[in-house]
A = this chain, B = another copy of it.
Amino acid sequence: MGGDHGPSVIAPAALGYLERDPDVELVLVGQEDAVRAHLPSGSLPSRLRLRNATQEVAMDELPSKALRNKKDSSMRVAIDLVKEGVADACVSAGNTGALMATARFVLKTLPHIDRPAIITALPSIAGRTWVLDLGANVDCTAEHLFQFAVMGAELVAAVDAVAAPRVGLLNIGQEEIKGNDQVKRAHELLARSAINYVGYAEGDDIYLGNLDVIVTDGFVGNVALKSSEGVAKMIRHHMKAEFTRSLLTRLAGLAALPVLRALSRRIDPRRYNGASLVGLRGIVVKSHGGADALAFRNAIGIAKKEVHEDVPNRIAQRVEQLLGAVEVPA
């Protein structure tokens, strides 16, 4: 059982989730003794099962090595359960690269999809914006970016019940030097597709609420995500410093506390925890490694929603529709 905290966070998160959602059954996969130590003694709560797995994938383990050597890791066993149809989805806080490699190997990629991608929702002024890829694919061709757009739009259509999600392609604003070749070509592919493609987006569009899906390669997406986290951390740091400067500012902070809490809830990264691996024949959700129980519960909720909306099948159908008929030049 992975992540920075293992069963000490995931077991309570699972119990907490089951209390809130009567429609879900959970299987905790991990070293059984270690998992049991974080559960109430006696018989297991209803709708909770354990599945022993003797190995663990380290957070810094090479994906190829994990895939080769860890056939009884909690990650592998959990994904096997999805493959076998015993589970409808896998949620993991483990090593992202290993999770992607294992999911790809066990579940397989959808037809017409070259590479699965990682997508997550981020808070915006108006609601939320989904961004992909977030790090699974460093170098992407125009075709890869186009596939990401198809998958992202369909996931959002399903999960957020948006009929025609507005899709933007991440670029930079300067003319002539605008974009690299892949982005320019992806722009052309998108413009003549059935996707509700709005055009180029810039980094700030992630947060301004005018788009539903923003498409980019995994390097850029990852840096955009991490930079944003950095700004939020810095603002939080300075806010704390300013409000604790003197007795007077502490009193002001006390007066403003309910408002600051409401603000903090709105942009709480834990409420956005859970990134989906899309393009696979099955549902896999990646939780942040450092997630606490609230954050991990959120990731379980995302997996449940994707099961409920039958996301992989919807994506498969949409991909078949938009990519299946495309003539591939020799």
Interface residues of A (CB under 8 A from B): 60-64, 95-97, 123-125, 135-139, 170, 172-177, 179-180, 202-208, 216, 218-220, 222-235, 237-239, 242-243, 245, 249, 251-253, 255-256, 258-260, 262-263, 266-267
Is A263 a contact of B242 with CB atoms below 8 Å?
yes
Is B266 a contact of A238 with CB atoms below 8 Å?
yes
Instruction: Using CB atoms, name the residue of chain B closest to A240.
Output: B263
- Listed by A's residue number, 9 A-B pairs whose Cβ atoms lie within 8 Å are A97-B175, A97-B177, A135-B172, A135-B177, A203-B222, A206-B227, A206-B230, A207-B234, A251-B255
**Alpha-carbon gap, A63 to B109, bound state (A):** 44
**Alpha-carbon gap, A255 to B96, bound state (A):** 45
**Alpha-carbon gap, A170 to B220, bound state (A):** 10
What are the residues of chain B within 8 A of A135 when measuring CB–CB?
172-174, 177
**Alpha-carbon gap, A192 to B13, bound state (A):** 46
**Alpha-carbon gap, A249 to B259, bound state (A):** 7
Chain copies in complex? 2
Is B255 a contact of A230 with CB atoms below 8 Å?
no
What are the residues of chain B within 8 A of A60 when measuring CB–CB?
175
**Alpha-carbon gap, A179 to B137, bound state (A):** 10
Contact of A180 among B96, B138, B230, B255 (CB under 8 A): B138
Given contacts A138-B180, A173-B222, contact A259 B266 (CB under 8 A): no
**Alpha-carbon gap, A75 to B124, bound state (A):** 37
Contact of A253 among B123, B242, B256 (CB under 8 A): B256
Is A259 a contact of B231 with CB atoms below 8 Å?
no
Instruction: Using CB atoms, name the residue of chain B closest to A204.
Output: B230
Is B204 a contact of A229 with CB atoms below 8 Å?
yes
Is B203 a contact of A228 with CB atoms below 8 Å?
yes
With both chains docked as a complex, state the minimum distance between the C-beta of A135 and any C-beta of chain B, in angstroms. Answer: 5
What are the residues of chain B within 8 A of A256 when measuring CB–CB?
243, 252-253, 255-256, 259
**Alpha-carbon gap, A206 to B205, bound state (A):** 20
With both chains docked as a complex, state the minimum distance between the C-beta of A130 and any C-beta of chain B, in angstroms. Answer: 14
What are the residues of chain B within 8 A of A125 when measuring CB–CB?
233-234, 237-238
